[in-house]
């Protein structure tokens, strides 16, 4: 019941937060923060006592490979069509669920001093978004997966549309259209998979483990793979499907930007690792050169656009496009080092970019502008914020000793075994990241301070949130082995499955 409880606590907690707004604006914030922290502690305490047990991939379908799963729960939902409430947790999903809850708490803290109207409904949408994301990371029934995929979009849309900034209507609608249209492609692919399973066995099934071993015609598999691929790279996002991201980030409230960058983008990366390649191994590996070209273009293109921005939030948004290109490269290089790097990048990028968006939101709240040309010398007035901004800028550009460096280094080493040329071009992203990150610091925090400016620095609550993310990035940079140990059985299983499928 652990996995169901994790989701129910957030869903019910969101309703309680909404109801509690009658007691003042601070009550929903406090309730939401307590609920997320309690959910995180529940996950950590429960997972600490778990013992892994072998769970065959494609159980009941003649699977030849096995994976190590920590938990599995299945309950019939619509048995006529083979739909069940099937949740499962392995090392990869455990890491991402924990990341979701940590950044969820940080998102609530980031908006603590913002005067958002209808505070209870605001906090409710944050908690409901987190519930949907956790469902995405745990669902092993593809119909249930799609349901959670849609559930997490609606409250995120409301966060942007209701509490966003001046261009919120355009940005929220663009976000919703991009994600909905790409999600519909995935839904069609899921329904076709279930129909193909019915044609082969006489029964419908949306079960991930049943569909893993489904024999599909190569041309059909290619088109179905594209349905999943497009849905996930839109969310990643990758060039050329990235155009919704800068607008959504720029117009979203601070908490929305933290959740969007730190958590929602990772659902796209997770989908590529968990579904796109394993379900269609031959088609995905045939498509890999094109996917890696898109990843390389995204790294360079995102970095160039980040360099040209004067809007603090848009610069960080385009840097996300660049950094998530390494995840796309790591996934389609499809070897141990590259996949380990992709997973570390998902976690490290979640912390570093969420922190930068939190800083951007704090600056906008205090200065009423995101234009870096109107800033300068802010370190003099806000030394705490300036120090934190410098740390996360260095983390983002890949400073050795921090998690982002480990991630990008592993991706490049794994990619080199596949394509040295792609590796050489992608490595330019490390240079361009240094340029736009240091320019951001120069424009915003260095230079002559405006003497008449009076702004508040980070308070103790903000510093606590920043401290958590700093510890996480240093830990990933100096000792990433616990993450490797959790993810390695998953990667071994997926590689064994795709290798076996490729030999058939």
98, 103, 106, 107 alpha-carbon torsion, rounded to 10°: -140
Q: How far apart are CA 83 and CA 308, in angstroms?
A: 48
- By the 10 Å C-beta count (0-12 exposed, 13-18 middle, 19+ buried), 111 is classed as buried
Q: How far apart are CA 55 and CA 68, in angstroms?
A: 6
Q: Is the dihedral of CA 392, 396, 397, 403 positive or negative?
A: positive
Q: How far apart are CA 22 and CA 24, in angstroms?
A: 6
Check if the beta carbon of residue 92 is closer than 8 Å to that of residue 274: yes
Check if the beta carbon of residue 299 is closer than 8 Å to that of residue 236: no
Q: What is the mean pLDDT of residues 110-122?
A: 84
* Residue 410 pLDDT class (50, 70, 90 cuts): very high
State residue 287's pLDDT score: 93
Q: What is the mean pLDDT of residues 460-482?
A: 94
Of 56-70, 72-86, 401-415, the range with the lowest mean pLDDT is 56-70
Q: How far apart are CA 390 and CA 410, in angstroms?
A: 24
Q: How far apart are CA 350 and CA 136, in angstroms?
A: 17
Number of H helices, E strands in the chain: 22, 4
Residue 334: name the closest of 492, 481, 477, 503 by CA: 492
Q: How far apart are CA 375 and CA 364, in angstroms?
A: 11
Terminal CA-to-CA distance of the chain, rounded, Å? 38
Q: What is the pLDDT of residues 5-54, one digit of tens each?
A: 999 999 999 999 999 888 877 899 999 999 999 999 999 988 876 654 54
Q: How far apart are CA 200 and CA 215, in angstroms?
A: 8
Question: What is the value of pTM for the model shown?
Answer: 0.93
Q: How far apart are CA 218 and CA 316, in angstroms?
A: 40
Q: What is the mean pLDDT of residues 301-319?
A: 90
State residue 413's pLDDT score: 95
Q: How many CB atoms lie within 10 A of CB 139?
A: 25
State residue 502's pLDDT score: 53
Q: What angle do CA 118, 121, 123 make, to 5 degrees?
A: 105
pLDDT exceeds cutoff 90 at 164: no
Q: How far apart are CA 219 and CA 61, in angstroms?
A: 23
Sequence-distant (6+) residues with CB within 8 A of 451 are none
The percentage of the chain sitting over the pLDDT mark of 90, rounded to a whole number, equals 59
* Residue 72 pLDDT class (50, 70, 90 cuts): confident
Residue 260: name the closest of 163, 185, 330 by CA: 163
SS3 141: strand
* Residue 134 pLDDT class (50, 70, 90 cuts): very high
H or E element that contains 78: strand 71-78
Q: How far apart are CA 106 and CA 479, in angstroms?
A: 23
Kindly provide the b/e burial profile for residues 207-241, where b requires at least 16 CB atoms within 10 angstroms of the residue's own CB.
bbbbbbbbebeeeebbebbbbbbbbbbbbbbbbeb
CA distances from 487 to 43, 90, 323, 326, 483 (A): 17, 8, 21, 18, 6
Domain ranges of the chain: 1-279, 289-484
């Amino acid at each position: 019941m652990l996995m169901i409880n994790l989701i129910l606590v957030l869903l019910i907690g969101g309703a309680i937060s909404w109801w509690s707004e009658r007691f003042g604006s601070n009550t929903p914030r406090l309730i939401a923060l307590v609920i997320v922290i309690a959910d995180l502690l529940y996950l950590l305490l429960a997972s600490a006592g778990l013992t892994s047990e072998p769970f065959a991939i494609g159980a009941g379908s003649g699977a030849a490979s096995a994976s190590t799963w920590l938990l599995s729960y299945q309950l019939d939902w619509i048995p006529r069509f083979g739909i069940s409430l099937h949740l499962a947790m392995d090392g990869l999903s455990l890491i991402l669920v924990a990341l979701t809850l940590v950044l969820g708490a940080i998102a609530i803290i980031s908006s603590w001093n913002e005067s958002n109207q209808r505070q209870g409904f605001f906090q409710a949408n944050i908690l409901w978004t987190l519930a949907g994301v956790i469902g995405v990371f745990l669902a092993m029934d593809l119909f249930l997966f799609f349901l959670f995929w849609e559930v997490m979009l609606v409250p995120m849309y409301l966060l942007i549309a209701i509490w966003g900034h001046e261009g919120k209507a355009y940005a929220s609608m663009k976000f919703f259209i991009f994600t909905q249209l790409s999600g519909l492609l995935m839904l069609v692919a899921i329904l076709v998979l279930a129909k193909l399973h019915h044609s082969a066995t006489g029964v419908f099934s949306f079960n991930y483990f049943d569909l893993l071993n489904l024999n599909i015609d190569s041309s059909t598999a290619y088109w179905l793979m594209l349905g999943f691929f497009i849905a996930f790279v839109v969310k990643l996002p990758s060039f050329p499907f990235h155009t919704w991201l800068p607008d959504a980030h720029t117009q979203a409230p601070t908490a929305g930007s933290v959740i969007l960058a730190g958590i929602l983008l990772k659902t796209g990366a997770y989908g590529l690792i968990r579904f796109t390649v394993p379900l269609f191994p031959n088609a995905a590996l045939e498509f890999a050169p094109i996917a890696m070209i898109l990843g390389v273009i995204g790294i360079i293109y995102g970095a160039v656009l980040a360099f040209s921005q004067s809007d603090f939030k848009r610069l960080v948004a385009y840097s996300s496009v660049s950094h998530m290109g390494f995840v796309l490269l790591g996934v389609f290089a499809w070897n141990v080092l590259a996949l380990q790097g992709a997973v570390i990048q998902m976690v490290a990028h979640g912390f570093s970019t969420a922190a930068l968006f939190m800083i951007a939101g704090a600056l906008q709240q205090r200065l009423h502008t995101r234009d870096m040309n109107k800033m300068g010398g802010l370190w003099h007035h806000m030394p705490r914020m300036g120090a934190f901004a410098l740390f996360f800028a260095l983390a983002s550009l890949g400073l050795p000793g921090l998690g982002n460096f480990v991630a990008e280094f592993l991706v490049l080493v794994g990619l080199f075994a596949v394509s040295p040329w792609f590796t050489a071009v992608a490595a330019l992203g490390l240079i361009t990241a240094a340029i736009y990150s240091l320019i951001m610091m120069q424009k915003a925090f260095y230079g002559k301070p405006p003497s008449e400016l009076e702004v508040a620095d980070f308070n103790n609550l903000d510093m606590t949130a920043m401290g958590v993310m700093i510890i996480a990035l240093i830990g990933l940079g100096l000792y990433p082995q616990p993450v490797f140990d959790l993810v390695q059985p998953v990667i071994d299983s997926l590689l064994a499955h795709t290798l076996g499928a490729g030999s058939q």
